[in-house]
Structure 1
Amino acid sequence: MAVAAPADKRFRRAQVKPARKRKGLLLRRWRAAAVVVVIGLALYTGRRIAAVVTELEIFDIEHINVRGNHRLSTGEVLALVDGLRGRSILAIDLEEWRRQLLNSPWVADVSLRRTLPASVEVTILERAPLGIGRINGALYLVDERGKVIDEYGPNYADLDLPIIDGLSGRSGAADTSGGTPAAGDQHSDIYRAMLARRLIDALRGSMMAGLISQIDVSDAQNAVVLLEDDPTRIRLGHERFVERLESYFELAPALREQVPVMDYVDLRFDERVYVRPAQKKTTNQKGISNNEAARRPISPRLQRATPKRSDGRRGA
Structure 2
Amino acid sequence: MPRARKTAKKKVSAKNTRNNTKKNLAVLLLFLFLAGVIVFVSYEAWNFFTSSPFFTIKDVRVNTNGNVALSKLEREMKDLCVSKNIFLVDLNWVADSVKKEYSQLKKVEVRRVFPSKIEINFIQREPSVIIKANYDIVIDDDRTVLANDDKIDKSKLPRIIGINLQHYPPPGERIDSAPLAQTLNLYGVLKANGIAGRFKVNYIDASNTSNILVKLDDFILKLGRDNFLSKLVKFEEISSDPKVNLKDIDYIDLRFEETVISPKKVSSVKS
- 1:50 paired with 2:39, answer no
- 1:9 paired with 2:2, answer yes
- Look up the match of 1:191: 182
- 1:139 paired with 2:128, answer no
Corresponding residue to 1:155 among 137, 151, 154: 151
Q: Which amino acid in the other structure matches residue 215 of structure 1?
A: I
| Segment of structure 1 superposing worse, 33-42 or 47-56 | 33-42
Per the normalisation by structure 2, the TM-score is 0.71
**1:1-316 correspondence runs (5 A):** 8-12=1-5, 14=8, 16=11, 22=18, 25-26=21-22, 28-29=24-25, 32-67=28-63, 69=65, 73-78=69-74, 81-82=77-78, 83-103=80-100, 104-134=102-132, 136-151=133-148, 153-157=149-153, 160-167=156-163, 168=165, 171=174, 185=178, 187=179, 189-204=180-195, 206-208=197-199, 211-220=200-209, 222-228=211-217, 230=218, 232-237=219-224, 238-239=228-229, 240-241=231-232, 243-244=234-235, 247=238, 250=244, 252=246, 266-273=253-260, 275=262
| Segment of structure 1 superposing worse, 70-79 or 125-134 | 70-79
Q: Any stretches of 5+ residues in structure 1 without a counterpart?
A: 1-7, 175-184, 256-261, 279-283, 286-316
Deviation, 1:58, is 1.9
- Give secondary structure in 2 for the equivalent of 1:155: coil
- Look up the match of 1:311: none
Q: Which amino acid in the other structure matches residue 198 of structure 2?
A: M
Q: Which amino acid in the other structure matches residue 214 of structure 1?
A: Y
Alpha-carbon distance in 2 for matches of 1:47, 1:32: 22
- Give secondary structure in 1 for the equivalent of 2:8: coil
Structure with greater contact order relative to length (CA < 8 Å, sep ≥ 6): 2
Q: Which amino acid in the other structure matches residue 101 of structure 1?
A: V
Alpha-carbon distance in 1 for matches of 2:258, 2:15: 107
Are residues 241 and 20 of structure 1, via their aligned partners in 2, closer, same or farther at CA, if it must alter by over 3 Å? closer
- Look up the match of 1:314: none
User: Does the 8 Å contact 2:160/2:205 carry over to 1?
Assistant: yes
Are residues 71 and 138 of structure 1, via their aligned partners in 2, closer, same or farther at CA, if it must alter by over 3 Å? farther
- Look up the match of 1:299: none
RMSD in angstroms over aligned alpha carbons? 3.9
Alpha-carbon distance in 2 for matches of 1:254, 1:49: 79
Alpha-carbon distance in 2 for matches of 1:146, 1:242: 26
Deviation, 1:247, is 3.7
User: Does the 8 Å contact 2:213/2:220 carry over to 1?
Assistant: yes
Q: Any stretches of 5+ residues in structure 2 without a counterpart?
A: none
Are residues 150 and 198 of structure 1, via their aligned partners in 2, closer, same or farther at CA, if it must alter by over 3 Å? farther
Q: Which amino acid in the other structure matches residue 268 of structure 1?
A: R
User: Does the 8 Å contact 1:110/1:124 carry over to 2?
Assistant: yes
User: Does the 8 Å contact 2:190/2:196 carry over to 1?
Assistant: no
User: Does the 8 Å contact 2:64/2:71 carry over to 1?
Assistant: no
Aligned residue pairs total 250
Identity of aligned residues (%): 19
Deviation, 1:221, is 5.4
Alpha-carbon distance in 1 for matches of 2:82, 2:262: 64
Are residues 241 and 272 of structure 1, via their aligned partners in 2, closer, same or farther at CA, if it must alter by over 3 Å? closer
Are residues 25 and 149 of structure 1, via their aligned partners in 2, closer, same or farther at CA, if it must alter by over 3 Å? same
Per the normalisation by structure 1, the TM-score is 0.62
Q: Which amino acid in the other structure matches residue 59 of structure 2?
A: H
When Rg is computed on C-alpha atoms for both structures, the one with the higher figure is 1
Deviation, 1:68, is 6.5
Q: Deviations over 1:15-50 (max 9, x none)?
A: 546679647735652552353144224303421331
Q: Deviations over 1:181-230 (max 9, x none)?
A: xxxx4x3x22222222222332357532xx322222344454423344x3
Q: Deviations over 1:245-269 (max 9, x none)?
A: 67479255665xxxxxx6x553433
Structure showing the higher helix proportion among its residues:
2
